[in-house]
Amino acid sequence: MTKKLRWSSVIIFLWALLPWVLMDVAQAEVSTASTAEEPLKIFVSVDMEGIWGVVHGNQCSASSPEYQLARRWMVEDTNAVVKGLFEGGATEVVVNDSHGSMRNIIASELDPRAQLISGSPKPLSMMEGIDSSYRACVFVGYHARAGSAPAILDHTISGAAIYSIKINGIEMPELGINAAVAGYYGVPVVMLAGDTETCRQAKELLGNSLVTVPVKEAVGRLAARNYPREKVLAELREGAQKAVSSLKALKPYELKPPYQFEVNFHTSQQTESGALIPGVKRIGPRTLTFTTKDFLEGYKLMRALISLASSI
Ligand SMILES: [Zn+2]
């Protein structure tokens, strides 16, 4: 009798627990499913001067016969990266064409799994399309800041207008400005490809955990030793794969507010129109400065000043 009672108590106890056990199993299934389906979106900005094989401005200009070959190299470098990103676990890759007319990448030759943002002007220029839904950002074909040597086609945004750009006292290459745009949305830059000097500047600014893939070594501004093609394509693919699998090693590049921009132009005339804008100060014949609380607001004003300088 006592034994029978004990067994029935155990059965009643287990019966009472059953709904909780089932609920836990169901929740475990839900959380596994959501992890498996969690999107891993990667944003890729592709410039042209840092593409393998490119050493001269003619190769980056649609009016030159050399351009057609260089834009093919551009899509090949990009495809190697896109392939590696998907192999590393990316579920969505958006490529933003970021050079000149921004119509360089041959749309039909891009890896068909990727989306292509093509054409200009666009509000965020080289970073158009970025938002907080992305987990990481990759820069391909990037170049060193104005005043670097030896470095292929070094410049900052506009070779004709800009001598240097400083934000909060730091002299910025495009990769730094664009990393700060990504940082504004909480997205880290995880990989960069370009010449050896650009890779050095990227690590200096964004940290040693950044995956960099040097595709060539400059021997002057218009001459470089290009590394073996097949090796470069393999390294771009492997680098992208590695960058996705080590996402947590890198934090977004976030500058501290307020954001003080200092834009140095080549000529005094290039500052004259920009100096008319409220909030913009001309602190030297060739230098404009302004401060904003919001980084993106400052980034847009800086670009407007460069457009004004370029229109004269
Ligand atoms: Zn460019």
What CA–CA distance (Å, rounded) separates 213 from 233? 10
SS3 state at 236: helix
The alpha carbon of 228 and the centre of ligand 1 are apart by a number of angstroms equal to 23
Does domain 38-157+173-249 fall under CATH 3.40.50.10780? My reply is yes
* Domain range summary for the chain, segments of one domain joined by +: 38-157+173-249, 259-310
Q: In this predicted structure, what is the pLDDT of residue 38?
A: 82
Decide: 94 and 43 in contact? Cβ < 8 Å: yes
Who's near 127: CB < 8 A, 6+ residues apart?
A: 43, 45, 96, 178, 181, 182
For 6, the token pair is 């004990």
- Specify the pairing of strand 136-142 against strand 41-46: parallel
Decide: 259 and 292 in contact? Cβ < 8 Å: yes
Q: What is the pLDDT of residues 116-164, one digit of tens each?
A: 999 999 999 999 999 999 999 999 999 999 999 999 999 999 999 999 9
The alpha carbon of 309 and the centre of ligand 1 are apart by a number of angstroms equal to 18
The alpha carbon of 243 and the centre of ligand 1 are apart by a number of angstroms equal to 23
Decide: 161 and 266 in contact? Cβ < 8 Å: yes
Across the chain, mean pLDDT equals 91
> What are the residue numbers of the active site?
155
Q: Residue 256 burial by CB count (10 A; 0-12/13-18/19+): exposed, middle or buried? A: exposed
Name the band, by pLDDT with cuts 50, 70 and 90, for residue 15.
Answer: low
Percent of the chain scoring above 70 in pLDDT: 88
Q: Residue 82 burial by CB count (10 A; 0-12/13-18/19+): exposed, middle or buried? A: buried
Cβ count within 10 A of residue 233: 19
The alpha carbon of 39 and the centre of ligand 1 are apart by a number of angstroms equal to 30
Question: Is the pLDDT confidence value at 76 over 70?
Answer: yes
What CA–CA distance (Å, rounded) separates 175 from 88? 23
The alpha carbon of 100 and the centre of ligand 1 are apart by a number of angstroms equal to 6
SS3 state at 304: helix
Name the band, by pLDDT with cuts 50, 70 and 90, for residue 9.
Answer: low
Q: What is the pLDDT of residues 207-242, one digit of tens each?
A: 999 999 999 999 999 999 999 999 999 999 999 999
Decide: 118 and 97 in contact? Cβ < 8 Å: yes
The alpha carbon of 38 and the centre of ligand 1 are apart by a number of angstroms equal to 34
Answer CATH for 259-310 from 3.40.50.620, 3.30.1360.130, 2.40.160.40, 3.40.50.10890 = 3.30.1360.130
Helix (H) or strand (E) holding 70: helix 67-87
Mean pLDDT of 239-266: 94
Q: What is the model's pTM?
A: 0.88
The alpha carbon of 244 and the centre of ligand 1 are apart by a number of angstroms equal to 25
The alpha carbon of 273 and the centre of ligand 1 are apart by a number of angstroms equal to 25
Q: 């920009």: which residue's tokens? A: 274
